[in-house]
Amino acid sequence: MPRPEHAPELVVLLDEAGAAVGSAPKTEVHGRVTPLHLAFSCYLLDGAGDVLVTRRALTKPTWPGVWTNSFCGHPAPGEGIESAVARRAAEELAVGIASLRAALPDFRYRAVDAGGIEENEICPVFLARAECDVAPDPAEVAEWAWVRPEALARAVTLAPFAFSPWMREQLPRL
């Protein structure tokens, strides 16, 4: 669901039960007090079973420069979450996806970064297969790497501060 070029990106606001209760501009939602809203995380796998991890661009307002899952995003109001995952894969990584499946459909987290910005999301976690090489948008991704899942788990254990808080919570459950 493409949005008009100059329209603000909207996120879906949720009540404590996870029901949609409205929407708000993304730029106004993520702050020192962040209302509960809908998001998603996705981990891309290649044919060898490696997982794509990305390092968030240094210009990102939340958790700049940390390593995280392949990509994240927010469904627009009225947009199906699987459509939003495919849209965001194309926007952020210029990649098509296949074999999309919900791995942690009820994942929810709250975290506050060093600058005081809060994340407060119901954030289903998906796994998908990359259909081609990635070409990340530098406004979103500073670096990326395909890694063995065991090596990623070891790195997160040894240097948890280098990884996003949502990824640290998600990996042991995947």
- Residue positions annotated with a catalytic role: 72, 121
b/e string for 131-166 if b means 16 or more Cβ within 10 A? Answer: eeebebeeebbbebebbeeeebeeebeeeeeebbbb
Cα-to-chain-centroid distance, residue 116: 19
Distances (CA, A) of 34 to 27, 79, 105, 111: 11, 21, 21, 10
Cα–Cα distance, 12 to 1 (Å, whole number):
14
Spatial separation of the C-alpha atoms in residues 13 and 22, rounded to whole Å = 5
